Amino acid sequence: MSDEQFEKLRQELRRGILVLAVLGSLRQPHYGYSLRKQLQDAGLDIDEGTLYPLVRRLADQGLLTSEWQQGEGRERRYYQLSPEGSALLESLSAEWLQLNNHVSKILEAGNETH
C-alpha cells in the first residue's frame, strides 16, 4: 500500500472521530488556538486548516454557541457546546464506544486466526 493511500484512508478514518473529539473538548469554553492546544496535549494533533473550519461548521449547525470576548488587548471567539450539542455528544459517545468495541473484537479475531 502506498503512503498516499494510507494517508487518504487515515484522514477518512479520523474525519468522523475528530467531530467527537472537538465536541468533547468543548464541554468547557475554548477559542480556536486553545482548543487546538488542548487536543494536541491529549495526543490528537489536528491541522489548523481542518480544525477551524470544522468548529465553524459545528457552530453553523447549532451544536456550539460562540461569543466574542476581549482579553489581553485582543478579541477571541469562544466556543462551547450548546444544549443540542451536549445531547448529540452523549449519543455519539455511546455510538463510538459501541463501534470501538465491535471493531476491536473483529480485529482481535483477525489476529487470532493469523
Partner 1 sequence: MKLIDRYMHAVAQALPESRREEITRELRANILDKLEAIAEEKGREPNEEEVSAVLKNLGHPQKVAGSFLTGQQLVSTELFPFYKQTLHYGLILVFILAMIQLGTHLLNSGDLSIANFFFEMIHKSLIMFAAVTGVFYLLSNPVGGKKYFDPYQCWSPEKLPRATQSWQRISTCEQSVEFATDVFFLLLLNYSLWMSSIQLKGLTIIFAEPVTTWIPILSAVVIASIILGIWKLIYRYWTVTTLILDAIVSFATAILLLIISRINPVVVDISKTQEHLDTMQITNKVIEIGLFWVGLFLVFMAGLSLYRAWKLSR
Q: How far is the CB of 65 from partner 1 (least distance, A)?
A: 14
Residue 67, interface with partner 1 (CB under 8 A)?
no
Residue among 57 and 105 whose Cβ is closer to partner 1: 57
- Map the footprint of partner 1 across residues 34-63, applying CB under 8 A: 34, 48-50, 52-53, 56-57
Nearest to 91 by CA among 12, 20, 13: 20
Nearest to 51 by CA among 69, 68, 70, 30: 30
Residue 75, interface with partner 1 (CB under 8 A)?
yes
3-state SS, residue 79: strand
CA distance 46 to 31: 15
Which range touches partner 1 (CB under 8 A), out of 20-28, 68-76, 86-94, 105-113?
A: 68-76
Query: Would you say 76 and 29 are in contact if contact means Cβ atoms under 8 Å apart?
Result: no
Residue among 14 and 77 whose Cβ is closer to partner 1: 77
- What one-letter code names the amino acid at 20? L
Q: Could you say which DSSP state residue 24 is in?
A: H
Residue 14, interface with partner 1 (CB under 8 A)?
no
- The site for partner 1 (CB under 8 A) is made up of 31-34, 48-50, 52-53, 56-57, 74-77
